[in-house]
Chains A and B, each alone.
Chain A
């Protein structure tokens, strides 16, 4: 029965992700707040869940020639080692602290993104 709740969480998070609106944004809070999953586990699930969808989507985007490899590489070259470093010590951090930090990140991103977007439209 609990499996059904996880599926629902995944669907809700996935819908947002499918609309190009950031995958982990809803999935992780739902898992942690509603289903009591640990922060690290929720993050891992989110990461793994993105992989198949990401690969499929990327394939389609490449086919449609929408991918700018040069710019992506400029970002990726420093991003990869940074990710390795933070991933390694992320799991050692206290789950509660990590949840709060993630919450701060979400709030900051929501507010700034909203203003940047509405600025663009105006």
Chain B
């Protein structure tokens, strides 16, 4: 199942060469990951978010990981980035305990709920909902 998914994605996106790596392709892959990494780090530091949304497709398409491994590996990427940014933001005095405490509590609770809910329903409706919300939120922030 994993192998089929891997080949399908690569064929569809025209990056079939990564399916059979040789030395030159491995170097190319590392460079692409590195350049994308610059962008991911920059964005995550600037916005305090968004690294995951960029890292997952990057890992899927360039590193050729399957969905599960992409998501899992993305966390290894984002965690240090968020830690570093958090330390810098906090050191600049950006802090308000009245906002921090309840929100963080909520996020932890919501996170557990979401992780549980994911098992129950993973389908295209979810994606539409998610990207719809993201689009709406984004537009609201611009205007």
Interface of B is mostly: helix
A98 CB to closest chain B CB (Å) equals 8
**Cβ 8 A contact of B99, one of A17, A45, A77, A114:** A45
**Cβ 8 A contact of A86, one of B41, B95, B124, B133:** B41
Set of chain B residues within 8 Å of A116, measured between Cβ atoms:
57
**Cβ 8 A contact of A110, one of B36, B39, B84, B131:** B131
B84 CB to closest chain A CB (Å) equals 5
Contact status A50-B113, CB under 8 Å: no
**Cβ 8 A contact of B33, one of A9, A55, A75:** A75
Complex: A117 Cα to B102 Cα, angstroms = 34
Contact status A109-B53, CB under 8 Å: yes
Interface of A is mostly: helix
Contact status B55-A75, CB under 8 Å: yes
Complex: A74 Cα to B110 Cα, angstroms = 31
Set of chain A residues within 8 Å of B58, measured between Cβ atoms:
75
Complex: A77 Cα to B30 Cα, angstroms = 11
B4 adjacent to chain A (CB < 8 Å): no
- Hey, what's the 0/1 contact readout for A23-50 against B, CB within 8 Å counting as 1? 1111111111101010011111111111
Question: Are A86 and B76 CB-contacts (below 8 A) given A6-B99, A18-B117?
Answer: no
Q: Which of A44-87 contact B (CB under 8 A)?
A: 44-55, 57-58, 61, 64, 66-69, 71-72, 74-87
B6 CB to closest chain A CB (Å) equals 12
B1 adjacent to chain A (CB < 8 Å): no
Contact status B86-A58, CB under 8 Å: no
Q: Which 3 A-B pairs have the closest CB atoms?
A: A10-B106, A18-B114, A14-B110
B contacts, CB < 8 Å to A: 8-9, 12, 29-30, 33-55, 57-59, 63, 65, 68-69, 71-73, 75-86, 88-90, 92, 94-96, 98-118, 124, 126-128, 130-135, 137-143
| 10 chain-A/chain-B pairs, Cβ below 8 angstroms | A29-B138, A49-B104, A53-B111, A58-B75, A75-B40, A78-B41, A79-B37, A107-B138, A109-B53, A113-B53
Starting from the known contacts A6-B103, A102-B47, 5 additional A-B residue pairs (CB-CB under 8 Å) come to: A30-B137, A43-B89, A67-B72, A74-B34, A75-B33
